[in-house]
Amino acid sequence: MSPYVTMPLAFEGVPEAEMQGRADAFLARMRKRRTVRDFSDRPVPRELIETAVRVAGTAPSGANQQPWSFVCIADPQRKTLIREGAEEEERAFYAGRAGEEWLDALAHLGTDDKKPFLETAPWLIAIFAQRWGVDAEGNRIKHYYVPESVGIATGFLIAALHDAGLATLTHTPAPMNFLNAICGRPDNEKALILLVVGYPREDCRVPAIGKKPLEEIATFL
Ligand code: IYR
């Protein structure tokens, strides 16, 4: 067990008169985020990706175990392998594995089993959850609240990439086991999300959908 050691909180407050303006500006910025499926091949500097992953790494996590691995892929050969693996799963999914109810729920998004963006977009970030940790002697270390922790970190990552001026797609080919071999990740890690990152293609269109209003998503007691 590690000892409990403290340090001063370097809390950077915001002057009260500026708080609502800051909150409104952040909302306006986040409202511009859209999930994109038509990517351009315009390159994105690695440093931008590194910075966004550093933001993800600031997320809170169960027991501060930070049970995540972000595999950032620009290598065209690996991207091709990922496209092949994903499209194989997606063909089965759209051909019936999903079931009618699920396919009905997706109809308004216009998705299908073709995933050319997995080769076109400059970066893929495969996000792995470390279901358990491994210590120096190879013993298993229990990890806590893993899906919650990785979900929060992924939210930070998507927000950081958007704020930097990039587009993303939260892609979830299922199952994603094929990613472990391509990304060289061990068995204790499970791929949760494949984030596609880049610029939208000039002629990119997105589904005409909106977000629920506050009244529908929040209750104040
Ligand atoms: N993984 C498939 C299907 C899919 C599922 C959900 I839930 C979505 O919101 C979107 C797509 C695909 O990527 O096409």
Using CB atoms within 10 Å of the CB of residue 34, give its burial: 0 to 12 exposed, 13 to 18 middle, 19+ buried.
middle
- The answer as to whether 216 is a domain residue is no
Q: Does ligand 1 lie within 6 Å of residue 105's CB atom? A: no
pTM for this one? 0.97
In angstroms, the CA 200 to CA 120 distance is 11
The reported pLDDT for the residue numbered 67 is 98
Tokens describing residue 132: 């358990």
- The answer as to whether 205 is a domain residue is no
- The answer as to whether 147 is a domain residue is yes
Res 147 pLDDT > 80: yes
- The answer as to whether 128 is a domain residue is yes
| Owning domain of residue 166 | 35-200
Among 82, 170, 171, 172, name the best residue to mutate to test ligand 1's pocket (greatest count of ligand atoms within 8 A of Cβ): 172
pLDDT digits (tens, 9 = 90+) for 48-71: 999 999 999 999 999 999 999 999
- The answer as to whether 10 is a domain residue is no
Q: Does ligand 1 lie within 6 Å of residue 79's CB atom? A: no
CA of 13 to the centre of ligand 1 (A): 40
Q: Does ligand 1 lie within 6 Å of residue 171's CB atom? A: yes
The radius of gyration of the chain from alpha carbons, rounded to an integer in Å, stands at 19
The reported pLDDT for the residue numbered 195 is 98
Domain count, the chain: 1
CA of 55 to the centre of ligand 1 (A): 26
The CATH number of whichever domain residue 42 belongs to comes to: 3.40.109.10
- The answer as to whether 177 is a domain residue is yes
Which pLDDT band holds residue 185 (cuts at 50, 70, 90)? very high
CA triplet 77, 83, 88: central angle to 5 degrees?
135
pLDDT digits (tens, 9 = 90+) for 27-53: 999 999 999 999 999 999 999 999 999
3-state SS class at 15 = coil
